[in-house]
């Protein structure tokens, strides 16, 4: 559980994602949770969680209609924490390609979301990840811990280069299903997971606690 006063977290409701599951999971670990797309409320929360389920292009359309692109951009410009889950992580990259259709993402990180190359797609079920040793997101979690994934698309290459020694390099976590793909990222105030912590039981609760404790 998080310590100190309850942190105010907004689950951004733009019509896509496991809104209520995320709300319950965050409340379970002690956050004060509000589900809304109200601009001011989302801007002023201690943390903003952006869920996402479905097609990349549809999620981007819904996010823009709710001004979520502005909310994410403004919060990050001010160093205010944002966390993306599943397609809510994917749309943080430059673009997504599904069924030959290309859509622009939020471009917080360079990279392309494309189809997973595996014998069985979608990647649905429990899987382990390869997290950096100094990860704050996965603190207290064993290397053999499993998390719940449901996706057919992923980012297979991490393209962001940080040659400036004064800029802390992002921490990138990987998983394997047919091929290696990005499973999570920690980049200053912007964190994200391809898997669903809200569906990952006690492990997911620990991960969300780790995020809340940084707010």
DSSP code per residue over 17-44: S-HHHHHHHHHHTT-EEEEE--HHHHHH
Cα gap 140→136, rounded to integer Å: 9
Which pLDDT belongs to residue 3? 53
Is 148 domain-assigned? yes
Q: What is the pTM of this model?
A: 0.95
Cα gap 171→187, rounded to integer Å: 7
Is 147 domain-assigned? yes
Domain containing residue 190: CATH number? 3.40.50.880
Which pLDDT belongs to residue 2? 44
Which pLDDT belongs to residue 99? 85
Cα gap 190→168, rounded to integer Å: 13
Is 184 domain-assigned? yes
Cα gap 147→89, rounded to integer Å: 15
Indicate which residues carry an active-site annotation. 86, 196, 198
Cα gap 50→19, rounded to integer Å: 9
Is 55 domain-assigned? yes
Is 2 domain-assigned? no
Q: What is the pLDDT of residues 94-110, one digit of tens each?
A: 999 998 889 999 999 99
Which residues does the chain have with pLDDT short of 70? 1-4, 162-167
Contact 148, 203 (CB under 8 A): no
Which pLDDT belongs to residue 187? 97
Q: Which helix (H) or strand (E) holds 95?
A: strand 93-98
Task: Determine phi and psi for 198, rounding to 5 degrees.
Answer: -70, -10
Which pLDDT belongs to residue 168? 79
Full residue range of the structural domain in which residue 86 is found: 8-212
Q: Which helix (H) or strand (E) holds 187?
A: strand 179-187
Is 1 domain-assigned? no
Structural domains of the chain, count = 1
C-beta neighbour count of 24 within 10 angstroms = 12
């Amino acid at each position: 559980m998080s310590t100190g006063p309850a942190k105010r977290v907004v689950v951004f409701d733009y019509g896509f994602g496991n809104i209520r599951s995320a709300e319950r999971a965050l409340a379970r670990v002690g956050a004060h949770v509000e589900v809304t797309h109200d601009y001011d409320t989302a801007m002023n929360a201690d943390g903003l969680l952006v869920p996402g389920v479905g097609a990349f292009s549809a999620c981007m359309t819904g996010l823009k209609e709710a001004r979520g692109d502005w909310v994410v951009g403004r919060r990050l410009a001010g160093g205010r924490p944002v966390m993306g889950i599943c397609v809510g992580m994917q749309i943080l990259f430059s673009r997504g390609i599904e069924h030959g259709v290309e859509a622009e993402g939020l471009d917080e990180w360079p990279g392309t979301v494309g189809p997973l190359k595996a014998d069985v797609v979608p990647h649905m079920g429990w899987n382990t990840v390869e997290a950096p040793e100094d990860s704050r997101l996965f603190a207290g979690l064993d290397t053999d811990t499993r998390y719940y994934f449901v996706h057919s698309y992923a980012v297979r290459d991490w393209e962001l280069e940080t040659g400036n020694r004064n800029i802390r390099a992002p921490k990138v976590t990987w998983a394997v299903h047919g091929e290696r793909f990005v499973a999570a990222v920690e980049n200053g105030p912007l964190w994200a997971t391809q898997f669903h912590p809200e569906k990952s039981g006690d492990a997911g609760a620990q991960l969300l606690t780790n995020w809340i404790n940084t707010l």
